[in-house]
């Protein structure tokens, strides 16, 4: 039951982020050379790893547990912060600029502008995730640590359906905004 609730909450969260990922992948296509470069960069903890990964703060144990999710898209300088349980979700889109390990974030809805420094490192705190993202402050007000997977293929295999749904939604949002 706990594992089912956890997966359901993660799926709800990632479904909202799939929209951003789909738009990015739709524009970029799937390139195995890019995947190999991403894998190599992960070994060096390159700040560029912050983009095009699903970052989560936890694995919920109950349907009512909240999970914070962050997804930053390289190809269209936008991202999403999300806080969701199985029953409730809050999301906010943001625009960003990245300079090395500094994100300058703008929230169009509120007009808020924030900057945060971050660090990416290998970690094993929350298996199966193997990367940690530490923010010096969270521009959205959520947690300061997030987890992701180094290998995009492993992420697709483990979070596949959720990621595909998020990508589909992002593609739909991109098509609507282009009109």
Per residue in 63-75, pLDDT (tens digit) is: 999 999 999 998 8
For position 89, what pLDDT does the model report? 94
Q: Give the sign of the dihedral formed by CA 140, CA 126, CA 148, CA 18.
A: negative
Instruction: Give the whole-angstrom CA distance, residue 179 versus residue 59.
Output: 37
For residue 34, tell me if it sits in a domain.
yes
For residue 39, tell me if it sits in a domain.
yes
For residue 19, tell me if it sits in a domain.
yes
Instruction: Give the whole-angstrom CA distance, residue 113 versus residue 139.
Output: 8
For residue 179, tell me if it sits in a domain.
no
3-state SS of 79-122? EEEEEECCCCEEEEEEEEEEECCEEEEECCCCCCEEEEEEEEEE
pLDDT average, residue stretch 82-95? 94
Domain extent at residue 91: 2-174
For position 121, what pLDDT does the model report? 95
Instruction: Give the whole-angstrom CA distance, residue 110 versus residue 116.
Output: 18
For position 164, what pLDDT does the model report? 61
Rounded to a whole number of angstroms, the distance between the first and last alpha carbons of the chain is 44
Total domain count, the chain = 1
Task: Flag whether pLDDT at 36 surpasses 50.
Answer: no
For position 155, what pLDDT does the model report? 78
Side-chain-side CA neighbours of 11 within 13 Å: the count stands at 13
For residue 150, tell me if it sits in a domain.
yes
For residue 94, tell me if it sits in a domain.
yes
DSSP symbol at 53: S
pLDDT average, residue stretch 10-37? 44
For residue 48, tell me if it sits in a domain.
yes
For residue 75, tell me if it sits in a domain.
yes
Q: What is the pTM of this model?
A: 0.69
Neighbours of 34 (CB within 10 A): 14
For position 45, what pLDDT does the model report? 73
Contact 80, 92 (CB under 8 A): yes
Instruction: Give the whole-angstrom CA distance, residue 137 versus residue 141.
Output: 8
In sequence order, which ranges of the chain are alpha helices (DSSP H)? Answer: 2-28, 32-43, 152-178
């Amino acid at each position: 039951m706990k594992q089912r609730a956890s997966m359901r909450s993660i799926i709800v969260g990632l479904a909202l982020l799939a929209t951003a990922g789909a738009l990015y992948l739709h524009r970029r296509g799937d390139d195995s050379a890019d995947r190999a470069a991403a894998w190599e960069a992960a070994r060096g903890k390159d700040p560029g790893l912050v983009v095009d990964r699903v970052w989560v703060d936890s694995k919920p144990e109950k349907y009512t547990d909240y999970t914070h999710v962050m997804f930053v898209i390289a190809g269209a300088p936008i991202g999403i912060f999300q806080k969701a349980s199985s029953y409730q979700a809050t999301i906010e889109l943001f625009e960003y600029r990245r300079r090395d390990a500094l994100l300058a974030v703008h929230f169009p809805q509120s007009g808020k502008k924030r900057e945060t420094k971050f660090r990416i490192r290998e970690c094993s705190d929350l298996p199966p995730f193997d990367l940690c993202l530490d923010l010096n402050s969270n521009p959205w007000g959520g947690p300061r640590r997030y987890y992701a997977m180094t290998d995009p293929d492993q992420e697709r295999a483990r979070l596949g359906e959720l990621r595909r749904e998020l990508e589909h939604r992002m593609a739909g949002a991109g098509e609507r905004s282009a009109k």
